[in-house]
Amino acid sequence: MNSEVLEKQTISLMNTISDIGAATAVLNWDQETYMPHGASMMRAEQISTLSTLMHQMLTGESARDLVLKLKETHIADQNPLMRLFVEEHDKAVKLPEELVKRVSKAQSLGQDIWKEARSKKDFSIFAPILDELLTLKREEAECRGYVDNRYDALLDIYEPGATVAHLNPIFDKLRDATSTIVKAIEPVKHLVNDAPMRQHFPGDLQMAFSKFIAEKMGFDFAHGRMDLTAHPFCTSFTQHDVRLTTRINEHDLSSCLYGVIHETGHGLYEQGFPLEYARTFAAEGASIGMHESQSLLWETIITRTEEFWEFALPHFAKYFPEQAKGLSARDMYHAVNTVMPSLIRVEADEITYNMHIILRFEIERDLINGKLATKDIPEAWNAKMKEYLGVLPPDDALGCLQDVHWSFGGFGYFPSYTLGKLYAAMEWKKIQEVMPNVHADIANGEFAGILNWLRKNIHSYGKTETPGEIIKWVTGKPLSEEEFVNYAFAKVSSVYGIQLA
Ligand code: CO
């Protein structure tokens, strides 16, 4: 078989698997937006059937033959798309089907039990199934393989190439810098508040204003749409159909507006993969962390500058004339950059947010390595909350039971959120270097320059390169906390009028 035929056959198999993946994504999107509640049991069966089918096609005989030939002929070394197929196949066959089934069963049980435990504010209800999930995930890590640390095998699922040895010192330095900020703000925290965002804003106008901003950022609504959901997300069924979702709180504009900006950042990445990668494994983000960097760059950096509100305030005033009375761009800048240590991760500001992640990373790492017992999680959690943020959860629902991730065994996922922030700060520093007028562009509502830069330097790779390689090529250095720390010190100094070393 010549190489052209081999590549064609591989692409054809990827097309089929990706199409089933897209169909699964449509079912998932529908489930979270319009599906009647009563359909959930049957829908779960349908999604499970398609997922099993995808796994079988990726690990089956035809895939195995293609992989063998791609390796023999060294095509996998030369063609990034072929290499990606081989990698995905090799990862999928490492897990015995019987383990996948046991994990999947524990996951669905875990989510039900977690919901009950959270509503009863009682960790002891959740502990036995969590312990089982941890045992299964340790077993999974052994199957996946690692060099130094068992947790590395799980990190690698979400952030290819990330390791504990690499992240430990970065997260330690980030934790210390964040502590410095939290302490510095304490005496001046009354100077800044988010009252302008916490007025009454009618839901339909929130949607319209948010959609206007998403369009300005460059989201293509001819190839995407936006709908309401309980837990906002972005999904795509190819670059030609990207779905954003949001929710509305009539007494807080941030939830919808910054939620939409966040999901639009993800959506721009999804719309930006090269078309030649459509319906293949390459039409995906390089990692969860890199995907998060695309949402966070827009949500926490670009649209929280004072220049952004110089542009946005007159439009805001058209949609919300009463609410805008007497407000300046500076007021809005303060309102959207309030820093306040708090109990709940998803409500945290951009600076203290990382503490919530570092705490989870440390606990997960120790659990997977058997250095922390499941029953001791609440105590470890509360001690770290007190030490890192100076707040103490009154119960486990507001503490270690607040997030869904552990209930589906998603150990290794949390660090992606902070990696996204670090990548975003590194990208932002580079953008400001290569586009000296970027702040003026933002004040004029011109975002095309930023989007083009992202398209060229990040989006164009899709999943064909690892996040570590991409960030090194783009910024000239490997992952570091330095850019985020400098950015955070400058932001907090400017918002609170204090001087940070
Ligand atoms: Co996100």
Taking a C-beta distance cutoff of 8 angstroms, is the pair 360, 350 a contact? no
C-alpha dihedral sign at 347, 348, 354, 359:
negative
For 477, other C-beta atoms within 10 Å of its C-beta total 11
Distance 72 CA to ligand 1 centre (A): 39
- Whole-angstrom distance, CA of residue 315 vs CA of residue 309: 10
- Whole-angstrom distance, CA of residue 369 vs CA of residue 365: 6
State the Cα angle at 454 between 448 and 20, rounded to 5°.
110
The DSSP annotation for 276-310 comes to GGTTSTTSS-S-HHHHHHHHHIIIIIGGGSHHHHH
Distance 266 CA to ligand 1 centre (A): 7
Burial of 291 (0-12, 13-18, 19+ CB in 10 A): buried
Determine the distance from the C-alpha atom of residue 338 to the mean position of all C-alpha atoms in its chain, rounded to a whole number. 22
DSSP type of residue 323: H
What's the confidence (pLDDT) of residue 188?
A: 93
The DSSP annotation for 26-54 comes to HHHHHHHHT--GGGHHHHHHHHHHHHHHH
Distance 405 CA to ligand 1 centre (A): 14
What's the confidence (pLDDT) of residue 243?
A: 98
- Whole-angstrom distance, CA of residue 146 vs CA of residue 153: 5
Distance 230 CA to ligand 1 centre (A): 15
State the Cα angle at 288 between 361 and 145, rounded to 5°.
65
Terminal C-alpha separation, the chain = 64
Distance 383 CA to ligand 1 centre (A): 28
What's the confidence (pLDDT) of residue 146?
A: 96
The residue type found at 371 is: K
Q: Which residues contact 433 (CB under 8 A, 6 or more apart)?
A: none
Identify the three-state secondary structure at position 234: strand
C-alpha dihedral sign at 388, 124, 115, 26:
positive
**Where in the sequence numbering do the catalytic residues fall?**
263
- Whole-angstrom distance, CA of residue 9 vs CA of residue 275: 19
Place of tokens 């198999």: 13
- Whole-angstrom distance, CA of residue 62 vs CA of residue 74: 18
pTM: 0.96
Distance 195 CA to ligand 1 centre (A): 25
Taking a C-beta distance cutoff of 8 angstroms, is the pair 230, 184 a contact? no
Q: Which residues of the chain have pLDDT under 70?
A: 501
Helix residue spans in 162-276 (DSSP H):
164-185, 203-217, 253-271
Q: What are the strands of the beta sheet with 234-236, ordered from one edge? A: 224-228, 242-246, 234-236
Distance 453 CA to ligand 1 centre (A): 20
As a whole number of angstroms, the longest Cα–Cα distance in the chain is 73
Distance 350 CA to ligand 1 centre (A): 13
Place of tokens 């589906």: 408
What's the confidence (pLDDT) of residue 34?
A: 96
- Whole-angstrom distance, CA of residue 294 vs CA of residue 220: 16
Distance 28 CA to ligand 1 centre (A): 17
What's the confidence (pLDDT) of residue 45?
A: 87
Distance 432 CA to ligand 1 centre (A): 23
Determine the distance from the C-alpha atom of residue 333 to the mean position of all C-alpha atoms in its chain, rounded to a whole number. 24
- Whole-angstrom distance, CA of residue 300 vs CA of residue 261: 9
Taking a C-beta distance cutoff of 8 angstroms, is the pair 358, 388 a contact? yes
Residue 33 tokens, joined: 């937006």
What's the confidence (pLDDT) of residue 488?
A: 97
Distance 429 CA to ligand 1 centre (A): 21
Distance 35 CA to ligand 1 centre (A): 23
State the Cα angle at 108 between 102 and 112, rounded to 5°.
140
Residue 485 tokens, joined: 């720390």
What's the confidence (pLDDT) of residue 48?
A: 86
For the chain, what is the radius of gyration of the CA atoms?
Answer: 23
Distance 420 CA to ligand 1 centre (A): 9
Q: Which residues contact 414 (CB under 8 A, 6 or more apart)?
A: 357, 360, 361, 364, 405
Distance 258 CA to ligand 1 centre (A): 11
Instruction: State residue 161 phi and psi, 5-degree precision.
Output: 95, -15
Read off the pLDDT of residues 320-363 as tens digits, 9 standing for 90 and up: 999 999 999 999 999 999 999 999 998 899 999 999 999 999 99
What's the confidence (pLDDT) of residue 501?
A: 64
Taking a C-beta distance cutoff of 8 angstroms, is the pair 411, 159 a contact? no
Q: Which residues contact 98 (CB under 8 A, 6 or more apart)?
A: none
Burial of 5 (0-12, 13-18, 19+ CB in 10 A): exposed
What's the confidence (pLDDT) of residue 2?
A: 85
Mean pLDDT score across all residues of the chain: 96
